[in-house]
Amino acid sequence: MIDTHAYDGAPEAEFRDYVALLKPRVMSLVVFTAFVGLWVAPVAVHPFVAFCSVLFIALGGGASGALNMWYDADIDAVMRRTQKRPIPSGRVTGGEALGLGLGLTVIAVMMLGLAANWFAAGFLAFTIFFYVVIYTIWLKRWTPQNIVIGGAAGAFPPMIGWACATGGISIESLLMFALIFFWTPPHFWALALFMKEDYHKAGVPMLTVTHGRAVTRRHIFGYTLVLAPFAIWLGLTPVGGPVYLAVAVVLNALFILGGWRVMRRNEDAAIADDYAVEKRVFKLSLYYLFLHFLALLVQHWVGTW
Partner 1 sequence: MPMQTEHELHRRRRSRNVGLGLVLAGFVALVFGLTVVKVRQGDLMEAYDHQPRVSITPLEQETPAAQEASE
4-12, 153-161, 238-246, 259-267 -> range binding partner 1 (CB under 8 A):
4-12
- Note the maximum CA span of the chain: 71
- Residue closer to partner 1 (CB basis): 112 or 179: 112
Residue 22 is classified by DSSP as T
Q: Alpha-carbon distance 136 to 108, whole Å?
A: 20
Q: CA-CA distance, 297 to 161, in Å (whole number)?
A: 13
Q: How far is the CB of 98 from partner 1 (least distance, A)?
A: 18
Site string for partner 1, 48-67 (x = CB under 8 A): xx--x--x------------
CA–CA distances in Å: residue 27 to residues 35, 52, 181: 12, 15, 17
Q: Restricting to residues 111-170, name those near partner 1 by CB under 8 A.
A: 114-115
Question: Does 15 help bind partner 1 (rule: CB under 8 A)?
Answer: yes
Residue 110 in the binding site for partner 1 (CB under 8 A): no
In the complex, least distance from residue 100 CB atom to partner 1, rounded to whole angstroms: 11
Listed ranges 8-16, 34-42, 147-155, 172-180: which one lies at the site for partner 1 (CB under 8 A) = 8-16
Q: What is the spatial distance between Cα 160 and Cα 127, in angstroms, rounded to a whole number?
A: 9
Query: Judged by CB, which is closer to partner 1: 16, or 264?
Result: 16
Q: Is 12 in the site for partner 1 (CB under 8 A)?
A: yes
Neighbours of 302 (CB within 10 A): 11
Which residue stretch of 7-15, 153-161, 171-179, 290-298 sits at the interface with partner 1 (rule: CB under 8 A)?
A: 7-15
Please report how close the Cβ of residue 18 comes to partner 1 at its closest, in angstroms.
8
Q: Which of residues 224-263 bind partner 1 (CB under 8 A)?
A: none
Residue closer to partner 1, measured from CB, 45 or 73: 45
Specify the long-range contacts of residues 73-78, CB closer than 8 Å, at least 24 apart.
73/97, 74/202, 75/202, 75/203, 75/204, 78/198, 78/201, 78/202
Closest C-alpha to 176, from 24, 42, 41, 281: 41
Binding site residues, partner 1, CB under 8 A: 6, 11-16, 18-19, 46, 48-49, 52, 55, 114-115
